[in-house]
Chains A and B, each alone.
Chain A
Amino acid sequence: GDSVTQTEGQVALSEEDFLTIHCNYSASGYPALFWYVQYPGEGPQFLFRASRDKEKGSSRGFEATYNKEATSFHLQKASVQESDSAVYYCALSDGGNYKYVFGAGTRLKVIA
């Protein structure tokens, strides 16, 4: 079945550091890829998506590029802020159905 792997379980950075969270996927079809962010006490929120190879998704300074060859969709941000501290989920939706497959999540802590 389809799967999403997030390499980092936790990431700790200082403000203004560069962020990368790695996301790799396995899918039989040509999935859409997503990033969601979850703050304490809230449900996950849509950050952005990409649905075709080489497409870049972006929002709030975060970005990721769909790489079909490498089966990756790594999240990056040039300069993180304390307010970015949250859990980030990578997900895919296969064209065959409308369900999501979520990665395990990466907890980001940014220290001021």
Chain B
Amino acid sequence: DAGVTQTPRHEVAEKGQTIILKCEPVSGHNDLFWYRQTKIQGLELLSYFRSKSLMEDGGAFKDRFKAEMLNSSFSTLKIQPTEPKDSAVYLCASSLGDKYYAEQFFGPGTRLTVL
């Protein structure tokens, strides 16, 4: 089985641009998560979907971050407009979601640099 796929692996944007990151979860998984990873803040949850329904929209990340799940096998994270403080690694993860102790499978991440 293919794991979680994320594209692009690297993205460089100018301040104020709109960028869209893409994620394909493991086939058959019901839960999908978007995280932001930085050295200072560690892993922060941005969004959480269950069976394509948005369960959590990440509170503080609402303003400029929008995650969508267009179908069960594809999700996007849009950042609009980008700011230099958005420079981070963005990770997508999926899980069967059949129990609260189900493991999450992570993609390799997209490293975003905002100039």
Contact = CB atoms under 8 A, between A and B. Distances in A.
Interface of A: 32, 34, 41-46, 49, 51, 89, 93-100, 102-105
A43 to B, nearest CB: 3
A12 B56 CA distance: 37
Contact of A49 (B31, B43, B101): B101
Contact of B43 (A32, A89, A93): A89
B76 to A, nearest CB: 18
A99 B48 contact: yes
20 contacts: A34-B103, A43-B91, A43-B93, A43-B106, A43-B107, A44-B43, A44-B104, A46-B104, A46-B105, A49-B101, A93-B100, A94-B100, A98-B31, A98-B95, A98-B102, A99-B48, A100-B45, A102-B42, A102-B43, A105-B43
Looking at chain B's contact residues, is the secondary structure mostly helix, strand, loop, or mixed? strand
Contacts of B108: 41-43
Contacts of A43: 4, 91, 93, 106-109
Contacts of A99: 33, 45, 48, 56
Contacts of A44: 43, 91, 104, 106
B101 A32 contact: yes
B109 A95 contact: no
Contacts of B4: 43
Contacts of A93: 100-101
B50 interface: yes
A104 B50 CA distance: 25
Contacts of A97: 55, 100
Candidate in B55, B104, B107 with the most chain A CB atoms within 10 angstroms: B104
B3 to A, nearest CB: 9
Nearest to B98: A98
A47 to B, nearest CB: 9
A69 B45 CA distance: 28
Contacts of B104: 44, 46, 100
B58 to A, nearest CB: 11
